[in-house]
Amino acid sequence: MAKVRPYYADGGLSAAFYDEITAADASLAGDVDVYAELAAEGGSVLELGAGSGRVTQALAERGVSVTGVDLSAAMLARAEARRKGLPPEVANRIELRRGDMTALDLKRTFDAVVCPFFTLAHVPAGAAWKNTFATAARHLAPGGLAAFHLPRLEIMRNLPPANPQAPVFDRTLADGRRLVLFVAERTFRDPPAKLDQVLEYVVVDTAGRAVQRSPERLTYWMTEPEPLAAAAGLTLDRPPRELGGAGDIWIFRKA
């Protein structure tokens, strides 16, 4: 197997094809509606792990000003390209910044903070989660809400073993090539509740030749979020909202 890159790395295919994969992911249906409820039109949202701007754009289109922060230059480049294609009044509501959600201080507050699509699960459960909850709290006024979409532990635990021969995604792209995705490696250990996967992205040309291959490592950590959020002054505001059978959106309020 070719050299394994981290997910969302420069030159990797997980960043290049992030939008194609998420557009086909039914488990995300409706997530933006949940985040949009947290800030009124004209309000402001800080998005932690904004990625290629999927949620950022949708919130800005609803009249919300969004500051999107991400660690990955490749993902931010995609978000910036997306922003440039938007009508100016929407694009002007978006600010993109490179930064680490575990140690971010923008010296201002927002009406809400959102951390979509398992972004918190990308960092180790423990100090990194606690520090991310502290980042959310630091950017909220008292009473402000923070939403974290987290995976379900029982789903992570019960995923089938890797099968490098069986595609888990196979779609024809707009230019006629195919994008095929395989799970090359998958382990789940508990404790710590850690899912480690190598996903192999393969681009197949119109003649059926594999012209690009990129194995990329995606790791998720999961734990009970309430105690770590509480340490940052965030208390659960309502029961977690189930999303697509794969995860829940946890909404916390700053005391």
Ligand X SMILES: C[S@@+](CC[C@H](N)C(=O)[O-])C[C@H]1O[C@@H](n2cnc3c(N)ncnc32)[C@H](O)[C@@H]1O
Q: Which stretch binds ligand X (CB under 6 A): 68-76, 168-176, 197-205, 233-241?
A: 68-76
CA gap 62, 215 in Å, rounded: 37
Answer for which of 13, 39, 66, 123 binds ligand X (CB under 6 A) is 123
CA distance 213 to 219: 19
Task: Determine the longest span between alpha carbons in the chain, in angstroms.
Answer: 59
Interface residue with ligand X among 4, 9, 34, 71 (CB under 6 A) is 71
Give the CB-nearest residue to ligand X.
51
Among 5, 8, 203, 234, binds ligand X (CB under 6 A): 8
By CB under 6 A, tell whether 228 contacts ligand X: no
Length of the chain: 255
Nearest distance from C-beta of residue 123 to ligand X, angstroms: 5
Is the omega angle on the peptide bond into residue 151 within 30 degrees of 0, that is, cis?
no
Q: Residues 138-167: x/- map of binding to ligand X (CB under 6 A)?
A: ------------------------------
Residues from 9 through 28 that contact ligand X (CB under 6 A):
22
54 lies in the site for ligand X, by CB under 6 A = yes
Strands of the chain (E only): list them. Answer: 5-6, 44-48, 65-70, 94-98, 110-115, 140-151, 167-172, 178-189, 194-204, 210-221, 234-236, 241-243, 247-254
Query: What does the binding site for ligand X look like in residue numbers (CB under 6 A)?
Result: 8, 22, 49-51, 54-55, 69-72, 75, 100-102, 116-119, 122-123
